[in-house]
Amino acid sequence: MNFEGVARPERIIQFGEGGFLRGFADWMIQKMNDAGVFSGNIVVVQPIESGMCDMLTAQNCVYTHLVRGVEGVDKTLVNSISRCVKPYEDFEAYLALADNPDFRFVISNTTESGIVFSDEDKITDAPPKTFPAKLTLLMKRRFDKGLGGFVFLPCELIDRNGDNLKKCVLSYARLWNLGDDFAAWVENENVFTNTLVDRINTGYPRGEDLSLGYEDNMVNASEYFHLWVIETAHDLEAELPFGKAGLNVIVTEDKLAMYRTRKVRILNGAHTSLVPYALLSGFETVKSCIDDESMREHVRRCMFDEIIPTLDLPKDELVSYANSVLERFANPYIKHYLSAIALNSVSKFKVRVLPSIIEYIKRYGKMPETLLFAFAKLLDFYKTDMTNDDADVVEFMKTHTPSEILANEKLWGEDLSYLAAEVEKYVNK
């Protein structure tokens, strides 16, 4: 197949080229372009040194996205990415994105560990290490050009992701002495939305006969379900008319927390409670775990017995959502590899599972045994070579005892020594 792009104004800068954004935000932009309610292309920025931009560029940034479930199969040719930029190879090309007044939106997914501030980043770094530092330099160049600000749509799965991103940018502005006028521009000329994303994306369907009739090395796949909750007072639908394209996007001024807590604790918490244990047990996909009686029971106990009791939403709503999660996990078309979910498992556990453990103890005065078993399996997992995480995190987890790991406030945000005795019961078991 001759992959040909479509010329449209470049209006979106996207940090991240992985399967999730390509099967979520980029798929939505394509749907809006196809429906004629929006006209804009995406420029992808590869936020780390290694990535998939070369593969994407090799086919003009065009790829096939498959949506599959009991409903059937929907095939979309995504041609809304115009090009890729790699800051570690050409930092000037990255900064030059700030010069184009057509750019209006910034989408990102740099994982839970991506929106962070580090005082080790320097203004002279080309590029600096962290995503917010890279972004600050881009914004400063745009400010210096006298251009307008951006609308930020961060997809990182942390609470108040937009607020935290803004805080990091302003911290760099202070660290680098970029001036009060720039800080005021960041505050007043930019819109930082808080968002929640929900869709299972599985990347390339390895080992399947897709019967496309052409070769596509960047095929991506997902379930039908998709939900993007965007919290902002800005009239976003006027600029990005998701609803007119029939997309399940909720723009709200104040209800994000309700949706976020439900999704992060139940769906993502179930994933993160399962993955290390399952990989250590020789499983490869989420569905293979759901098909196994003991693994399915592990997931069920985590969700229904220890996570749902810590949440304040109506129980029937929580149970209904949890049942839908189990159905989504069992989707026969979804080959969701555990190894893909295992990326940055420590930071994911901190965000997705640890709050349920702490709240369960607070409410019931006893230990949530299944979630603590999952915690122990996380520690066991990091003693292997299957992990995919920051090198410093991997080294620390591999070379320290459970007690030392749990006491590390930098990893967990607090000293978890009070959990050590319970967690250690399940280590290496």
Q: At what angle do helices 269-280 and 293-300 cross, to 10 degrees?
A: 150
The residue ranges of the chain whose pLDDT is under 50 are none
Q: In angstroms, rounded to a whole number, what is the distance separating the alpha carbons of residues 274 and 370? A: 10
Strand arrangement of the beta sheet that strand 151-154 belongs to: 81-85, 41-45, 10-15, 105-108, 151-154, 191-192
The confidence score (pLDDT) of residue 42 equals 98
Q: N- to C-terminal Cα distance for the chain?
A: 51
Using alpha carbons, select from 31, 26, 37 the residue that is nearest to residue 241.
Answer: 37
The confidence score (pLDDT) of residue 335 equals 77
Q: In angstroms, rounded to a whole number, what is the distance separating the alpha carbons of residues 142 and 175? A: 19
Residue whose structure tokens are 């790699």: 86
Q: In angstroms, rounded to a whole number, what is the distance separating the alpha carbons of residues 272 and 281? A: 15
Longest distance between any two alpha carbons in the chain, whole Å: 62
| Residue 130 phi, psi (nearest 5) | -80, 155
Mark residue 61 as left, alpha or beta (left: phi above 0; alpha: psi -120 to 50; beta: remaining).
left
Using alpha carbons, select from 227, 203, 224 the residue that is nearest to residue 73.
Answer: 224
Q: In angstroms, rounded to a whole number, what is the distance separating the alpha carbons of residues 44 and 34? A: 20
Count Cβ neighbours within 10 Å for each residue of 84-114 and write b for 16 or more, e otherwise: bbbbeeebeebbebbeeeebbbbbbbbbbbb
Domains in the chain, please, with CATH?
A: 10-252 (3.40.50.720), 256-424 (1.10.1040.10)
Count Cβ neighbours within 10 Å for each residue of 26-41 and write b for 16 or more, e otherwise: bbbbbbbbeeeebebb
| Residue 197 phi, psi (nearest 5) | -120, 145
Using alpha carbons, select from 336, 221, 220 the residue that is nearest to residue 285.
Answer: 336
Q: Which residue type, as a one-letter code, is found at position 79? A: N
Q: In angstroms, rounded to a whole number, what is the distance separating the alpha carbons of residues 329 and 223? A: 10
For 376-396, the DSSP string reads HHHHHHTTSS---S-HHHHHH
> Which residues lie closer than 8 Å to 312 by C-beta, 6 or more apart?
none
Q: In angstroms, rounded to a whole number, what is the distance separating the alpha carbons of residues 424 and 376? A: 7
pLDDT digits (tens, 9 = 90+) for 207-256: 888 889 999 999 999 999 999 999 999 999 999 999 999 999 999 999 89
- Beta strand pairing call for 105-108 and 151-154: parallel
- For the entire predicted model, the pTM comes to 0.77
Q: In angstroms, rounded to a whole number, what is the distance separating the alpha carbons of residues 49 and 86? A: 8
Q: In angstroms, rounded to a whole number, what is the distance separating the alpha carbons of residues 392 and 40? A: 40
Q: In angstroms, rounded to a whole number, what is the distance separating the alpha carbons of residues 283 and 86? A: 35
Q: At what angle do helices 345-352 and 269-280 cross, to 10 degrees?
A: 140
